[in-house]
Amino acid sequence: MRGLPGRPDSTATLFGGAVALLGANLLPLVGVVAWGWDLTALLVAYWTEAFSTVVLAAVKALFAERGSPGIPGQIEPLHGLREKRGGWQFRPTWPPLYPRNLPFALSILGFWLVTVVPLSVLYWFSADLTLVLTLDLALGIGALVIAQGSDFVFEYIGNGEYADVSAQEIVRTPAQLSLVVVSVGLLAAAESRASGLLILALVVAAKTTVSMYQFYVEHVGTPILRLRERLFDDGTDSEPPPELDLPNADVSGRVTADARAVLLGSVGAIAFGFVNRVGFLTLVFLVLAIVAGDFLWLAVALLAVLVLASARVLSYFLRYGTVEYQRRGDDLVAYDTALEAPQWIASVDSGADFAVRNAIADRLLGTGTLTIADVESVDRDVRLGPVSDIDRAVARLDLPVQQTERPERDPAVIAAASVLLLFFLAVPAGLFLTPDVSDALAWGLSLVFAPFFLLPVGALAWAALSRV
């Protein structure tokens, strides 16, 4: 992360930050040499630092101003929020918090929760480690954490580094550093009993070198060894900020989204909240808790599922429920009233391709939604709605739309899709009803073959509901 043009990092500030970071990283060496820190104390100090690095990276990602192109083939939690534009500024002297960066912040936190934390707990109990919390250990941990916090306040926020970095860049760097820290700790664990003080001192030196090199790359911006480009980068991690400028024309008509239809539509989107690493492992945890029959673990798993489902509903509402559609001259603008920023701008008089969206929520509530193909401002299809009265919206926004009716109710399609849906659901139901198959085996088979059943079951359910 380089400083902003016209707002360079001062030499004194950089030097002070480097000295503070160096001192905080060398403090564990004092603990090893003078205070008798053992392997357990060193691992706890570095694990805590790594965890605080991840949490702080998630916070930094929310402020990152530049856009993130994303990683091909990867779906982050709340992936749909990446298309939001604008942000909330909760402090006048701080930059806005951008909802579009929330998926990247959650991805790095989720990675730790489903990989590093369980492995760390497993290692702790398998190695039968004991820890005595002393004043010097608390001082060492505090110094490492405070060094990162001061870098965030004075460098990242104070010197405006947030304006020259993307969320995707931020979450990669701490993930790499955290893996290095954990790997160094595990290597030290394998050798410390035989080599004693020398190995512990080498661990501290290696960790200090990694931290100082990372500080140099972030603040000076010129990698020495180019290891990141060779090992991790498969393309650019940053692109220009995606904000749009409003057309220079007055609002001649406006229509708001129907909150009821948005909330009902979010129910169907909950399933997509589990189509990622964190969501899938949460479902696995739920199945294992059911098989184990432990009430506490079952309660925790259900709470995790509820949190993911609620987050999906809230993100869906933020994406569509706070939008007002405005006619400004020859342009149609989707303006988010909560973020006070345009989400997309479509030119109405340039052959815009409108179509009626056959949404289930619209059929049940009598609302309506339009889609617009290949909108140039965002280079994708967009949607207008759901709105309470689609005909009134077309007239108020003066849109070139002639047909607003959805397909008629089709009982034959509903019946056929429902019968096929029951046939698919009968397979896992039969596993639980067959006395020769244990509950544990039934749950295990259901979990393994769930991805193969969810696609046809979801398609049949949608086909039936879309013709209600």
* pLDDT score at 44: 76
Q: Which of 321, 319, 320, 287 is nearest to 301 (CA)?
A: 287
Strand order of the β-sheet with 341-347 is: 251-256, 323-328, 331-336, 341-347
**383 in Cβ contact with 370 (< 8 Å):** yes
CA distance 204 to 194: 17
- For 409, which DSSP code? P
**394 in Cβ contact with 419 (< 8 Å):** no
- Which tokens in the block code for residue 23? 């001192």
pLDDT tens digit string along 242-254? 899 999 999 999 9
* pLDDT score at 226: 47
* pLDDT score at 70: 73
3-state class (DSSP) for residue 3: coil
* pLDDT score at 24: 63
Q: Which of 207, 212, 209, 205 is nearest to 33 (CA)?
A: 205
Number of other residues whose CB lies within 10 A of the CB of residue 165: 23
- Residue 189: which pLDDT band, with cuts at 50, 70 and 90? low
Provide mean pLDDT across the span 235-261.
88
Provide mean pLDDT across the span 182-186.
57
pLDDT tens digit string along 27-58? 666 666 666 666 667 777 777 877 888 888 89
Q: Which of 341, 372, 338 is nearest to 355 (CA)?
A: 372
Instruction: Flag whether pLDDT at 361 surpasses 90.
Output: no
Provide mean pLDDT across the span 195-208.
62
- Residue 192: which pLDDT band, with cuts at 50, 70 and 90? very low
Least confident of 378-382, 392-396, 412-416: 412-416
pLDDT tens digit string along 307-341? 888 888 999 999 999 999 999 999 999 999 999 99
Amino acid at residue number 27: L
pTM of the model: 0.74
Instruction: Flag whether pLDDT at 3 surpasses 50.
Output: no
Residue 223 φ/ψ region, left for φ over 0, alpha for ψ in the -120 to 50 degree band, beta for the rest: beta
3-state class (DSSP) for residue 128: coil
* pLDDT score at 341: 93
Instruction: Flag whether pLDDT at 5 surpasses 50.
Output: no
Residue of 171 and 217 predicted with greater confidence = 171
The count of residues in the chain is 468
Provide mean pLDDT across the span 159-181.
74
